[in-house]
Copies of this chain bind each other. A is one copy, B any other.
Amino acid sequence: MTTTDTMVKMVLDRWNGSITSGDTLINSLPAEKWQQEIAPGKNRGIYLLGHLIAVHDDMLVLLDLGQKQHPELFEAFVKSPDKATPNLPSSEELKQSWTRQNEDLRKHFEALQPAQWFEKHTSVSVEDFAKEPHRNKLNIIITRTSHLQYHLGQLRLLA
């Protein structure tokens, strides 16, 4: 196993472990919990779930894996704050999207070779990437795992 293989394994293990923790938590929460605020006056569970799906959807673009599958979620769950958008998808629909999305991302991630993770992501230019090689695809996984954990700590409060 080369150092590159080891590095990719470390980062993907932490992503996959975080998704698995998320699965367990998300599948344990009944429909009524998703309408509750995680703390008085703060975001509702359903907003955080939609937010995670919308942010992870954008990884397909950043990692050059294809187009967004849920572009309609970006406005309601990233650009807008909670409680600003009427007619959100149901928690059941979002849970299904979460599960399908993770199956899809897992297949994409497993198909990438270790060296490909050190190629540039799509939001950095060739010129900038030459000077800043850390702005690679693997770094997207590092930052999104960090973001996921932040919100899992909050969603956990509904359990």
Q: Which residues of A contact B (CB under 8 A)?
A: 1, 3-4, 6-7, 9-11, 13-14, 18, 38-40, 42, 118, 133-134, 136, 138-139, 142-143, 145-147, 149-154, 156-157
Contact = CB atoms under 8 A, between A and B. Distances in A.
Given A11-B142, A39-B39, A146-B18, A6 B154 contact: no
B150 A118 contact: no
A40 B134 CA distance: 41
Contact of A42 (B3, B4, B157): B157
Contacts of A38: 39, 157
Contact of A6 (B134, B147, B157): B134
Contacts of A152: 150, 153
